[in-house]
A and B are shown apart, each in its own frame.
Chain A
Amino acid sequence: MKNGNGILRFLACGSVDDGKSTLIGHLLHLTGNLYDDHLRILQEESARIGTAGGVTDYSLLLDGLMAEREQGITIDVAYRYFDTPGRKFIVADTPGHEHYTRNMATAASQCSAALILVDACRGVMPQTRRHALICALMGIRHLLFVVNKMDIAGWAEHVFRNVEAQCGLIAGELKHFGLSLAECVAVPVSALHGDNLVALSQKTFWYEGTTVMEWLQRIRPRARMERAAPRLPVQYVIKVARSGNAWQNGVGEKIRNWDTGTYRSYAGTLVSGRLKQGDRVVVLPSGLRTRVNEIWCGDLEVQEATAGMAVSLTLEGEHDIVRGEVIAPEDDTPEVAHLFKAQLVWMDEQPLYAGRHYLFKSLTGTATAEIIRIRNRIDPATYQRLAADHFSLNDIGEAEMALSRPIPFDPYHKNRETGGFILTDRLSNKTVGCGMIMHAMRRAGNVHWQFGEVERGERAAIKGQKPCVVWLTGLSGAGKSTIANCLERKLHGLGRHTMLLDGDNIRHGLNKDLGFTEAGRIENIRRIGEVAKLMADAGLIAITAFISPFRAERDMVRRLL
């Protein structure tokens, strides 16, 4: 069997025109992965629209989408595959424009290594620093700075050494920032002419490092996940009734005569570590303790599963485990929390403000997430943490979040699979951001809800009314306050216990610290929503009159109640 050394996914990034597309196209060619008909089309196109002046323009190979070809820029991630006797490579070619940082983060989330292109003559650009940061943040620990266009730089060693030193600084700063790399080196190349891509070039006789290809062959992409603690998030529960007709043809008697009425196995990918038959495990968040009975890999029973394998487990005893629960060894479990700090990459045109709610999805389940506080934003060019009260498109920073229920997780630096999550907008269904969990926050344990004493319904019963919140909204001067006053007067006349919350009054008291910025308005509405909820809990009919300009905040209030 070929490709015995598995698959390496890597990312190629850098500023526009640094030569990514040329580099990948040329690598494909040099490793014998271009077909004749593709090469023929490529040469025709090079002659017609190429920018390489007579030489084959390998960049044309990757600019797949028509729109891009017309605009002359790369707008999305393109994937390329190449086979070598040692291993199979999956390359993500990502756009250099700042606007597409989100695409880069996306590609990086699935890669184990990154090539960062740097134009030898221009040196390190802000974009280079940004890309190195995103790669490191997304958990890539192998970076190769590919110093390109050395032909234009006259193959001068001092040009390369200079850029190499700048790259070394980046690695140092990343480390200082808390993101240490396993490997970070530089190689001088000409993507156009092919020097140092697969064979060391005479033109850089002063260079003694590896070629791009050697570097890629040497990485062990799976070692980390194999060493990490075992985690199997349940993806799907396989259930077959003994006497039913859902059995695959040819399934043996041993399986069909399952001792209980229904065959049940838990299907999922062991994302990290190893798991053996007979291992004692705990299922989280339910806390159930049991033992691994059998491990199935398709229709084969195996003794042991290792990281990356899609398996299904049967467990000792009969249980009702659901999708999203995590199976982990008893002595090395993930944390379970609903309040934590995370690094976010914001991917939506609509900015993120504290107080907003989104749908959270990780391998270990879905929940509603509220962004409680934005702690800071990271300047991707200087790696400084800056004060921030919102995130705009492509911003990266730290935030505190609260989920509607506790979920199991590992800190991202320990486990890239169980530490990552996405946020989606519940109206548009768009993916608005992604995040890496840093750690749980203790507050979760402290603020316990007090149950058991007087219930909400009991309070209402004393008053003999159905408590609720009447939320009046509309533009300034539309007549909200007038109607609200009238309404309260009438209800009062009917002997109801009411309370009117009016915008101006609240702004003078409870919310006098808030301004009229977008963040201020959101917080204003959030507080009023909370107060109205407390009043309804107290058994009152609360009436509010506020300009509530954002749909997201109106929805937030609805959810509160």
Chain B
Amino acid sequence: MNKTDALHLLEHESIRIIREAVAEAERPVMLYSIGKDSSVMLRLALKAFFPMKPPFPLLHVDTTWKFREMISFRDETAARLGIELITCSNEEGLRQGVTPFSHGCRAYTEIMKTDALRQALDSRGFDMIFGGARRDEEKSRAKERIFSFRDGGHRWDPRGQRPELWSIPNLTKNRGESFRVFPLSNWTELDIWRYIAHERIPVVPLYFAAQRPVVERNGQWIMVDDERMELAPGEMPRMKLVRFRTLGCYPLTAAVESRAATVEDVILELESVRTSERAGRLIDFDQAGSMEKKKQEGYF
């Protein structure tokens, strides 16, 4: 990579962010969502502390509705790198049988993601929490800081954000308060893929086109990943050549028709594609300004 390439600059900037956060943290942790952004963030963390293992564990919030391929990829990755992986689920929610089908998109996300995350962070006292969110994903994220302060209840106050000057973040806080740190804030989807290609970073195969069983709902392709998927009367899964641009919980993440079977194909596809990545994420369409609401409540 040439030293003047945008990608090179982004990489170095992100490493700087990761080091700064860890240097001022008591108990750092990296949220690992198994997706492409997490994979890139993890690679940057390895580079930031080479030859030492990153001095923090990975944390995965397992809603139990992740694609099966994601879970096996997660476990392989942690084993290969020898990095501690903490997984947590909202046990109470599981007992009550909360699923995307039973409780609807919003309640499900609130209970199985937001609550589970809060519980995990509180019980272990993590104070510096890395996330792979990018500003180009959603309007309200465009205004979030790289080092984003959260009060004792994990709430984000969009109007009370701390200014970020130069590369000198104000990371002072009181007990119980924390920071979400987004080292990939300035990356775009295309940057992520170009970096994956350049660094040969392994990602979940679901990102590449293959024949997969899907049903059509509201004009979107939903994959039938296991027998828990509730089919409407008359709905029949059929095989289609699809891939995912973003990976969440499988009933809530739509696939796109695509022939891109390799990283290079994906990059070519993105360079010509005309829809945004989040168009495949059903939770965002739920309500106007929905992401901002979720964040104020403590969803990442």
Contacts and interface: CB of A to CB of B under 8 A. Distances in A.
A and B: interacting chains: yes
Contacts of A434: 163, 165
A363 B167 contact: yes
A238 B185 CA distance: 25
> Chain A contact residues (Cβ within 8 angstroms of B): what range?
35 or more
Interface in A1-31: 1-7
Interface stretch (B50-58, B62-70, B95-103, B115-123): B50-58
B218 interface: no
B51 A263 contact: yes
A248 B170 contact: no
B279 interface: yes
A429 B170 contact: yes
A429 B136 contact: no
A510 B22 CA distance: 49
A1 B2 contact: yes
Q: Is the interface of A mostly helix, strand, loop or mixed?
A: mixed
A80 B142 contact: yes
Contacts of A102: 163
A184 interface: no
B238 interface: no
A66 interface: yes
B53 A246 contact: yes
Contact of B81 (A79, A239, A249, A271): A249
A65 B165 CA distance: 21
Contacts of A309: 3, 12
Given A90-B186, A246-B52, A235 B23 contact: yes
A67 B159 contact: yes
Interface string B58-84: 000000000000000000000011100
A200 B55 CA distance: 53
A507 interface: no
A299 interface: yes
Contacts of B51: 238, 240, 247-248, 251, 255-256, 263, 299
Contacts, number: 194
Given A6-B6, A306-B3, A79 B135 contact: yes
Nearest to A269: B16
B12 A308 contact: yes
A7 B6 contact: yes
B9 interface: yes
Contact of B168 (A6, A75, A362): A362
A249 B6 contact: no
Nearest to B172: A429
Contact of A239 (B52, B159, B186): B52
B244 to A, nearest CB: 17
Interface stretch (B41-49, B229-237, B246-254): B41-49
Nearest to A258: B51
Interface in B256-287: 273-276, 279
Nearest to A39: B274
Interface string B129-143: 000000110011011
Contact of A236 (B19, B47, B289): B19
A110 interface: yes
Contacts of A209: none
Given A296-B50, A299-B51, A429-B170, A79 B276 contact: no
Interface string B1-19: 1111111011111011001
B165 A248 contact: no
Nearest to B51: A251
Contacts of A1: 1-2, 5, 7, 194, 198
Contact of B53 (A80, A248, A431): A248
B166 A79 contact: no
B158 A429 contact: no
B136 A81 contact: yes
Interface stretch (A189-197, A413-421, A536-544): A413-421
A249 B82 contact: yes
A297 B46 CA distance: 11
B292 interface: yes
Contacts of A289: none
Nearest to B138: A64
A31 B6 CA distance: 17
26 contacts: A1-B194, A5-B4, A6-B6, A6-B9, A7-B10, A35-B273, A35-B274, A65-B140, A67-B158, A67-B159, A83-B188, A88-B191, A110-B165, A235-B23, A240-B52, A248-B46, A248-B50, A248-B53, A248-B82, A263-B52, A269-B16, A298-B50, A424-B172, A429-B173, A431-B163, A431-B165
Which 3 pairs show the lowest CB-CB distances between chains A and B? A298-B47, A3-B6, A64-B139
Interface of A: 1-7, 35-38, 62, 64-67, 69, 75-81, 83, 87-88, 90, 102-103, 105-106, 109-110, 222, 235-236, 238-240, 246-249, 251, 255-256, 263, 267-269, 271, 296-299, 306, 308-310, 312, 323, 347, 359, 361-363, 416-417, 420-422, 424, 426, 429-431, 434
Interface of B: 1-7, 9-13, 15-16, 19-20, 22-23, 46-53, 55, 80-82, 135-136, 139-140, 142-143, 158-159, 161-168, 170, 172-174, 185-186, 188, 190-191, 194, 198, 273-276, 279, 288-289, 292
